[in-house]
Structure 1
Amino acid sequence: MLPGTNSALFNIPKLTDDGLNWITYKERMLTVIGARGLMRYTDGHKVKPIPFVFDTLTKKLKKPDGSEPTESEVEDLDDKIDEYHQKDSLIKQQIFSTISDQLLLHVQRLGSASKIWDEVCKIHEGKTELVQIDFDANSKR
C-alpha cells in the first residue's frame, strides 16, 4: 500500500532563496512527484481535457463532432476535468509549499503545474552549475 498524501515521506526541505540546494531539491521533488504517480502533470504530457461547447442557440452542449453528448458522457468528462484539476493542484501545492513567497508570487500566474515547474527549473538551473563545479573540485582534494 502506498503512503497517504499527508505522509512525511512527501515532505522535502524548502528550496533556499539563493538556490544553493537546487540539485538535491529538484531530485527530491521529482522523486515525490513520481511516487505519487503524477510525473505527467509535471513534464507537460498530461493534457487538460477539453469541455463540451455550450451552444447558445440550442441551449445544449455539443461534442467536437457537433452531436449532443449523452448524460453519461457529460458526467465522464466532468469527472476527467475534475481529476485533472485535482492532480495538477497536488503538484502545485507540493511546489508552492517548498518555495519562497516571492518565487510563488512570480510563478503562480503561469497556471498549470508543468509551466510552474518549468519556470522554477529555468530560474535555478544556471545558478547551480557553479556550485556543482565548485563541489566537484573540492571533493577531489
Structure 2
Amino acid sequence: MSTNIKHHVPPLKEDLSNWVTYKKRVTVAVTSHGLDYFYLTGNATPLKDDEYDKLMEALDKYETKEAQLCDILFQTISTSLFLRIKDEATAYHVWKELCSIVEDKSPISVDSLHNKMMNLRTPEEGDIRETLTQLQVWYEELAGMGYKVPEDSYMTYIRQSYALAAAQITHNGEVIDTGASRHFSPILSNFKNLVRIAPSPVTAADGHSFIATARGD
C-alpha cells in the first residue's frame, strides 16, 4: 500500500510567517484524505501485540495513514525544521512538536515580518508595483497572525518604500482640483466614508505618478 498522497498544502516559509494559514491547510488536507483529525490529536493508537495476527490489515491501514500524514508535513517544512521533528514517534507527536516550535516563536516572527515592512525600499530603477504587492502580502500575513498593522503606519511604510524610486520628485503637494471626475489628496480627513484599498500607482495627465491607498467621498 502506497504511503504517498497528493496534496495542495503550500510549504511553511522559513521565517514561519504563514503559519496560521499553513496550520489550517494541513488540518483540511488531513481530513480530505480520510486521515481524520484524530491522527493529529494523539487519539489514534496502533494495535496491541496480542491483536496483531488477526488484525494485520487494520495495523497496516494505521501505519499507512501515519506515513501519509508525516509525508504531508515533511514535504512542506524547511530542512532545519524537519531535522528537529523527524524522529518523533507518531504523526501526532510530529505535529505537536511542530506546533510547539512555531507557535512559541510567533511573536518573534511577527516582529521580523513587521521590520521587513518598515525597511522595504524600491530601488531607483525598480518597479513600485512589485514593492506595493510585497507590502500587501506582508500586511495580510501579519493580519493572519493576529497582528493588524495600524493604518497610519501602513501608509508611512508605503511612502517610505518608494523614496528611492521617487528621488527625482521636485515638489510634493495636495491636488485640490484635477479637472477630472476624480480628485486626489494626501489628507485623509478630507474624505468621508474612507475605505483602504490595495496600493495602486496612478499617473496624472502631466506624467507625474503617485500612489492611491484609499478611496472615499
Provide the TM-score with structure 1 as the length reference.
0.71
Higher relative CO (Cα under 8 Å, sequence separation at least 6) belongs to: 1
Partner of 1:34: 31
User: Is residue 118 from structure 1 mapped to residue 130 from structure 2 by the alignment?
Assistant: no
Segments of 4+ in structure 1 off by > 2 A? 126-134, 137-141
* One-letter amino acid of the structure 1 residue matched with residue 24 of structure 2: E
Of residues 15, 19, 22, the one that matches 1:18 is: 15
Q: Give runs of aligned pairs for residues 53-92 of structure 1, distance below 5 A.
A: 74=53, 76-92=54-70
Q: CA deviation at 1:16?
A: 1.1
Q: Is the 8 A contact 1:51 1:77 kept in 2?
A: no
Q: Percent identity?
A: 27
- Alpha-carbon distance in 2 for matches of 1:99, 1:86: 20
Partner of 1:69: none
Unpaired runs of 5+ in structure 1?
53-62, 64-72
Q: Structure 1 residues 99, 139: closer, same or farther in 2, change over 3 A?
A: farther
Q: Which has the higher helix share?
A: 1
- Alpha-carbon distance in 2 for matches of 1:83, 1:25: 26
Question: Deviation string for 1:15-71 (max 9, x for gaps)?
Answer: 11211110111011111111122211111111111122xxxxxxxxxx6xxxxxxxx
Q: Is the 8 A contact 1:110 1:116 kept in 2?
A: yes
Q: CA deviation at 1:127?
A: 2.7
- Alpha-carbon distance in 1 for matches of 2:43, 2:98: 18
Q: Structure 1 residues 133, 87: closer, same or farther in 2, change over 3 A?
A: closer
- Alpha-carbon distance in 2 for matches of 1:119, 1:107: 7
Residues matched between the structures, number = 113
Q: CA RMSD in A?
A: 2.2
- Alpha-carbon distance in 1 for matches of 2:20, 2:84: 21
Q: Give runs of aligned pairs for residues 42-61 of structure 1, distance below 5 A.
A: 42-52=40-50
Q: CA deviation at 1:139?
A: 6.4
Partner of 1:70: none
Provide the TM-score with structure 2 as the length reference.
0.47
